Amino acid sequence: MLPHTLSTVITGSGRFLPEKVVANNDFLENEFYDVSGKKLPNPNEVIIQKFQQITGIKERRYATGNMVASDLGFLAAQEAITNAGIDPETLDYIIVAHNFGDVKASSRRVDMMPPLAARIKHKLQIANPYTVAYDLPFGCPGWLQGIIQAHYYLQSGDAKRILVIGTETLSRVSDAHDRDSMIYSDGAGAVILEAQAGEAKAGVLKHLTVSNTLTQALWLHSSPSYNPAAPQQDLYIKMDGRKIYEYALKTVPQLIKDCLDKAGIPLTDIKKVLIHQANEKMDEAMLERLFKLFGQENIPADIMPMTIAKLGNNSVATLPVLYDFIARGELAGHGLHSGDTVVFASVGAGMNANAVIYRIP
> DSSP string of 276-316?
--S-HHHHHHHHHHHHHHTT-----TTSS---HHHH-B-GG
Q: Is the per-residue pLDDT at 295 higher than 90?
A: yes
* 30 within 8 A of 177, measured Cβ to Cβ: yes
Cα gap 168→219, rounded to integer Å? 19
* 88 within 8 A of 80, measured Cβ to Cβ: no
Cα gap 342→274, rounded to integer Å? 7
**What does the domain layout of the chain look like in residue ranges?**
5-198, 203-359
Give me the pLDDT at residue 339, please: 95
- Residues 148-162 have pLDDT tens digits of 999 999 999 989 999
Give me the pLDDT at residue 5, please: 87
Cα gap 226→234, rounded to integer Å? 11
Q: Is the per-residue pLDDT at 349 higher than 50?
A: yes
- Residues 253-287 have pLDDT tens digits of 999 999 999 999 999 999 999 999 999 999 999 99
Helix (H) / strand (E) containing 207: strand 203-211
Cα gap 235→131, rounded to integer Å? 34
> DSSP string of 76-140?
HHHHHHHHHT--GGG-SEEEEE-SSBB--TT----B-SS-HHHHHHHHTT---TTSEEEEE--ST
- C-alpha dist (Å) from residue 135 to 110, 174, 261: 14, 22, 31
Neighbours of 106 (CB within 10 A): 8
* 96 within 8 A of 143, measured Cβ to Cβ: no
Give me the pLDDT at residue 2, please: 44
- Residues 28-75 have pLDDT tens digits of 999 999 999 999 999 999 999 999 999 999 999 999 988 999 999 999
Q: Kindly report the CA angle at 56 between 210 and 242, in degrees rounded to 5?
A: 45
Give me the pLDDT at residue 1, please: 38
Cα gap 48→52, rounded to integer Å? 6
Cα gap 278→346, rounded to integer Å? 9
3-state secondary structure of 36: coil
Q: Model pTM?
A: 0.95
- Residues 192-207 have pLDDT tens digits of 999 998 877 899 999 9
Backbone angles phi, psi at 357, to 5 degrees: -95, 125
Helix (H) / strand (E) containing 197: strand 186-198
Cα gap 118→95, rounded to integer Å? 10
Give me the pLDDT at residue 306, please: 96
Give me the pLDDT at residue 3, please: 52
| 216 DSSP 8-state letter | T
Two domains, one topology: 5-198 and 203-359: yes
Q: Is the per-residue pLDDT at 139 higher than 60?
A: yes
H-helix segments, the chain: 44-55, 69-84, 116-123, 142-156, 241-263, 280-293, 308-311, 318-327
- Percentage of residues of the chain with pLDDT beyond 70: 99
Q: Is the per-residue pLDDT at 106 higher than 90?
A: no
Fold (CATH) for 203-359: Peroxisomal Thiolase; Chain A, domain 1 (3.40.47)
Return all residues near 244 (Cβ < 8 A) that are at least 6 apart.
Answer: 219, 220, 347, 351
Backbone angles phi, psi at 315, to 5 degrees: 55, -120
Question: What is the arithmetic mean of pLDDT over 9-18?
Answer: 98
Fold (CATH) for 5-198: Peroxisomal Thiolase; Chain A, domain 1 (3.40.47)
* 178 within 8 A of 239, measured Cβ to Cβ: no
- Residues 319-333 have pLDDT tens digits of 999 999 999 999 999
